Amino acid sequence: MIKVEGLTRTYGSYTAVDDVSFECQPGRVTGFLGPNGAGKSTTMRIIVGLTPPTKGTATVKGVSYHDLPNPGRTVGVLLDASAQHDGRTGREVLALGAMTMGLPMSRVDEMLHLVSLSPSEAKRRIRNYSLGMRQRLGIAHALLGDPEILILDEPANGLDPAGIRWMRGLLKQYADRGGTVLLSSHLLHEVELIADEMILIGKGRIVAQGDRKSLMAHNTKVEALATSLDNTALANALTAKGISVVPAGEGLRVAAEPVEVGRTAVEHHIVLTDLRSGEGGLEDLFLQLTSDTQREGVVA
């Protein structure tokens, strides 16, 4: 498991990571979410000991990463799939990793097979790899030492849709076996589908964390979208109850819970053709919480 406490990293007057604390539990996939430059990669580099923190501690299985003997056997790391020597073949990259960790060379072939890199692709130099292929190689490298913890920075980047689905399955399976996964992404939908636990970060600070349900509790916006056979009558009935209604597309946007809209419709014998919660889901919450940190300013 991974434990991060009060982590802060400053560069001059710029604070990249600001008092970040969280834990990643075995058997769970923890998603690390945030806009570009929010401090995700810096936090991950600090965990792996590549960047010294200004303040705070990060431990893996209770010890500092630096004190893990042969850390590749405990923690699989993929921080940047492009950070490989262009002039080396994919197979050589894995061979070097296997040699360092003291693994048999058969493990290299197993991993190449696992990430669907063909023998002829593995013989090519990384210069000729697409980002998706580099990403697959990086995942193979992270899994090489059969680690119990995975730390992956934007692993879905550059993968094709089939590849993304494959990786989702792989990580799910890995966590179900008892593995700990920390993965970062700026793609919400990706993480939403696999993460048991989510950490939302913006401008170096954690803005929210928890499982999907507890995160949604942050969403205070109550809204319903309703369409009926008689929108005018429904709008009048709702307005009469003091609920504000605005037309939206073919239906109405109502500032109330869907249950309230349904009740009103029943009372007035109006046939509803569509009724759903207007809460935007995780994406809305994410944009709302990080709105002051988004580059685009306030988004809708």
Partner 1 sequence: MTATSQAPVYQAPRAAASDIPFGRLVQVEFRKSWNTRSGFWLLFTIGALVLIGELIAAIVTAVQDVDDVNLGTFATVAGVITQLLLPTLGILLVTSEWSQRTAMVTFSLEPRRSRVVQAKLVVSMIWTAITVIFALAMGAVFNLLYGAINGSISWSGGAGIIGFVITQALAMLIGFAFASLMLNSPAALVVYVAYLFVIPTIFGIGAALMHWFKSLRDWILLTQSEQPLYDGFWHMSATEWGRFLVSVAIWVVLPLVFGLRRILRAEVK
CB of residue 49 vs partner 1: minimum separation in angstroms? 5
2-11 β-sheet, strand order: 14-24, 2-11, 55-60
Q: Which of 8, 19, 26, 96 binds partner 1 (CB under 8 A)?
A: 96
- Judged by CB under 8 A, how many residues of this single chain contact partner 1? 61
CB 40 within 8 A of CB 32: yes
Tokens of 300: 């809708």
How does DSSP assign 38-77, residue by residue?
Answer: SSHHHHHHHHTTSS--SEEEEEETTB-GGG-SSGGGTEEE
Min dist CB 63 to partner 1, Å, is 11
Out of 141, 175, 180, 270, name the contact with partner 1 by CB under 8 A.
Answer: 141
- Which string of x and - marks every residue 47-86 that binds partner 1 (by CB under 8 A)? -xxxxx------------xx-xxxxxxxx-x-xx-xxxxx
Q: E strand or H helix at 15, and its extent? A: strand 14-24
Residue 256 and residue 171: Cα distance in Å, rounded? 39
- Closer residue to partner 1 (CB): 33 or 117: 117
The contact pattern for partner 1, residues 100-139, with x = CB under 8 A and - = no contact, is xxx----x--x--xxxxxx--x---x-------x--x---
Which lies closer to partner 1 via its Cβ, residue 32 or residue 174? 174
Nearer to partner 1, 96 or 255 (CB): 96
Token pair 């080396």: residue? 88
Contacting residue, 45, 134, 186, 203, with partner 1 by CB under 8 A: 45
User: Among residues 165, 189, 263, 276, which is the contact residue for partner 1, using CB under 8 A?
Assistant: 165
Alpha helices in 127-257 (DSSP H): 131-143, 161-176, 188-194, 212-216, 231-240
**In the bound complex, what is the minimum distance in angstroms from residue 193's beta carbon to partner 1?**
16
Distance between CA atoms of 223 and 278, rounded to whole angstroms?
Answer: 5
Single residue of 34, 155, 163, 258 touching partner 1 by CB under 8 A: 163
Please report the DSSP string for 73-134 in residue order.
GTEEEES-TT-S-TTSBHHHHHHHHHHHHT--THHHHHHHHHTT--HHHHTSBGGG--HHHH
Minimum CB–partner distance for residue 256 and partner 1 (Å): 45
Write the DSSP symbol of residue 254.
E
Binding residues (CB under 8 A) for partner 1: these are: 45, 48-52, 65-66, 68-75, 77, 79-80, 82-89, 92, 95-97, 99-102, 107, 110, 113-118, 121, 125, 133, 136, 141, 143, 146, 148, 160, 162-163, 165-166, 169-170, 173-174, 177
